[in-house]
């Protein structure tokens, strides 16, 4: 091989090394950007918990910790990424919404969920409420009537490693008898009155939180006791309506 050939080989090596250097620099930069973004979202979550949730009186440490941990921005559509930690509900497609952070926290606190408890949720939506329950250590069964939303929520939850959540497609009006009775039940779509099967599928000593009403809705806390069922009104709320069998 002559001088020319050797020079050509040398040049190729240099180009190759520059290429490798460039690619690894890009990867490092990507990781730095990702870490920066994660830090940004973490501080937005802390601000959300302090200003929207603790200031309004939610005290349960487990709830506050879970709300600081679960990456809410991964449960909203990309076009709402910048609003993920704001003080209002957001559209998640199919005419449905992810609830306002304060309402998620308040409902979770009312349930007094403990580690290892079995919880049924009606209205999976984005899967965010289910993730909060799972983060506290509950075993969650969540039912969504719209298959597209159920599919998406299932993916989000499994990408984040929430193995103790089972997403089911169906009408939650009848509950989910296969796993009943439940320690706690949470409903995140509003029927005009409390579906009887949900009270039946609650353990004695169990609690149910549910928005009830058409336009003027009330959040109700239902406690099932030996002596009977006690229903308390907690606060006025605005949820999407429960659809399906309940409308008949
Ligand atoms: N918990 C959700 C938000 C709920 S939005 C979250 O964290 O994102 C209410 C959801 O209830 C909607 O997705 C709607 O499709 C669903 N829904 C309405 N009626 C239902 C029914 N009968 N059974 C199950 N899901 C129902």
pLDDT at 248: 87
What are the backbone angles phi and psi of residue 235, rounded to the nearest 5°? -165, 160
pLDDT at residue 157 above 60?
Answer: yes
pLDDT per residue as tens digits for the range 56-100: 999 999 999 999 999 999 999 999 999 999 999 999 999 999 999
Phi-psi category of residue 119: left, alpha or beta, with phi > 0 → left and psi -120 to 50 → alpha:
beta
SS3 124: coil
Question: Residue holding tokens 């609830």?
Answer: 99
Ligand 1 test: best mutation among 188, 209, 238, most atoms within 8 Å of CB?
Answer: 188
pLDDT at residue 55 above 90?
Answer: yes
pLDDT at residue 102 above 60?
Answer: yes
Ligand 1 test: best mutation among 145, 149, 239, most atoms within 8 Å of CB?
Answer: 145
Query: What share of the chain has pLDDT > 90, as a percent?
Result: 84
The radius of gyration of the chain from alpha carbons, rounded to an integer in Å, stands at 24
pTM greater than the 0.85 cutoff:
yes
Question: pLDDT grade, residue 33 (50/70/90)?
Answer: confident
Question: pLDDT grade, residue 140 (50/70/90)?
Answer: very high
Higher per-residue confidence, 82 vs 35: 82
The pairing of beta strand 90-93 with beta strand 96-98:
antiparallel
The rounded mean pLDDT for the chain is: 94
The pairing of beta strand 139-144 with beta strand 118-122:
parallel
pLDDT at residue 19 above 80?
Answer: no
- Ligand 1: residues with CB < 6 A are 96-99, 122-123, 125-126, 128-129, 143-146, 149, 171-173, 188-189, 240, 242-244
pLDDT at residue 1 above 60?
Answer: no
Per DSSP, what are the bridge partners of residue 169? 144
């Amino acid at each position: 091989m002559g001088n020319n050939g050797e020079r050509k080989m040398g040049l190729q090596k240099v180009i190759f090394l520059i290429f490798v250097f460039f690619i690894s620099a890009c990867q490092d930069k990507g990781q730095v950007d990702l870490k920066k973004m994660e830090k940004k979202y973490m501080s937005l979550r802390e601000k959300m918990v302090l200003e929207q949730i603790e200031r309004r009186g939610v005290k349960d440490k487990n709830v506050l910790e879970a709300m600081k941990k679960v990456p809410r921005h991964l449960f909203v559509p990309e076009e709402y990424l910048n609003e993920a930690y704001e003080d209002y509900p957001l559209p998640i497609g199919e005419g449905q919404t992810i609830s306002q952070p304060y309402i998620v926290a308040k409902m979770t606190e009312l349930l007094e969920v403990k580690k290892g408890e079995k919880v049924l949720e009606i209205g999976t939506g984005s899967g965010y409420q289910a993730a909060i329950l799972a983060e506290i250590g509950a075993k969650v069964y969540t039912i969504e009537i719209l298959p597209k939303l159920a599919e998406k929520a299932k993916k989000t939850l499994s990408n984040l490693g929430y193995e103790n959540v089972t997403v089911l497609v169906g009408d939650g009006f009848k509950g989910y008898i296969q796993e009943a009775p439940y320690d706690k039940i949470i409903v995140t779509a509003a029927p005009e009155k409390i579906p009887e099967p949900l009270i039946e599928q609650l353990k004695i000593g169990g609690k149910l939180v549910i928005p009830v009403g058409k336009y003027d809705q009330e959040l109700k806390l239902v406690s099932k006791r030996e002596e009977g069922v006690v229903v308390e009104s907690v606060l006025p709320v605005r949820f999407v309506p429960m659809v399906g069998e309940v409308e008949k």
